[in-house]
Amino acid sequence: MTKPIVEVRGVHRTFGAGPTAVHALRDVSFDVEPGTMVALVGRSGSGKTTLLNVIGGLDRADRGSLSVDGTDITRLDEDGLSRLRREKVAYVFQTFGLIPVLSAAENVGAPLRLARTPAADREKRVELLLDLVGLAAHAEQRPAELSGGQQQRVAIARALAASPRLLIADEPTGQLDAETGRSVMALLRGVVESEGVTALVSTHDPVMMALADRVIRISDGRLHE
């Protein structure tokens, strides 16, 4: 039996204390199978982003255990969490997060430069990824010269640069029009299949839910399959 790539058990996360405390996550438990795309669905403030941040090592749970690709991340120090994000987990955000002064190719290659990947290997990987997201002809353009949909495609290519095991996307189509959003969602579905990556995507878009292998709903910090 294949071991889940993400295992979450009894996770709680509370912000603040006393009567004004916000219980963002309440006894959350679930698994994510490798090579699947899971849609995490819920209203604003339901706990989606907190859950993604805890799984990806950007935040810490108050209680419970979390394992990503066999690593118990609740036991990692800050260096260990940084290594996790560098080697196993990649993020795609609403706001793209590209470096304005770098070209599309340079943005995609940035994680590989940090990893000191040899130039020839880096250039080959960047070329492959830009082709994968349909932007081979835009390699030398800077973010300001690209549309919102194109910028998000560059962000997806950059997230895949270091061949992560888990791709976390927090409302990746939130700033895109409906048609562009659909094309980006279809791209994410294709990436799961072509790159063998596992994707955990927060969304409220019915199209993304239809493309996902599994839909998990979250409300008031609790999960509902």
Quote the pLDDT of residue 225. Answer: 65
Query: Is residue 108 domain-resident?
Result: yes
**pLDDT at residue 19 above 90?**
no
Q: Does 89 fall in a domain?
A: yes
Cα 214–Cα 46–Cα 19 angle in degrees, nearest 5:
145
Residue 6 above 80 pLDDT?
yes
Question: Can you give the pLDDT at residue 59?
Answer: 93
Residue range 78-94: mean pLDDT, rounded:
89
C-alpha distance from residue 27 to each of 12, 31, 195 (Å): 5, 14, 32
How many other C-beta atoms are found inside a 10 Å radius of the C-beta of residue 42?
A: 22
The DSSP result for 24-77, as a single string, is EEEEEEEEE-TT-EEEEE--TTSSHHHHHHHHTTSS--SEEEEEETTEEGGG--
Residue 204 included in any domain: yes
122 lies in some domain: yes
Count of domains for the chain: 1
The sheet carrying 166-170 orders its strands as 89-92, 166-170, 198-203, 37-41, 214-219, 222-224
What are the two backbone dihedrals, phi and then psi, of residue 78, each rounded to the nearest 5 degrees?
-60, -35
Share of the chain above pLDDT 70, in %: 99
Per the model's pLDDT, the better-predicted residue between 2 and 83 turns out to be 83
22 within domain boundaries: no
Query: Could you tell me if residue 146 is inside a domain?
Result: yes
pLDDT at position 1 over 70: no
In a domain, 66, yes or no: no
Q: pTM surpassing 0.85?
A: yes
Q: Give the pLDDT of residue 95.
A: 83
pLDDT score, position 200: 95
Mean pLDDT of 140-163: 93
Average confidence (pLDDT) over 201-222:
89
- Contact (CB, 8 A) for 103 and 141: yes
Q: For residue 114, count other CB atoms closer than 10 A to its CB.
A: 11
**Residue 187 has what pLDDT?**
87
In a domain, 183, yes or no: yes
Domain with 198 in it: 34-59+82-224
Q: What is the CATH number of the domain that holds 183?
A: 3.40.50.300
Q: If you search the block for the tokens 């996360």, which residue do you land on?
A: 13
- How confident is the model at residue 115, as a pLDDT? 86
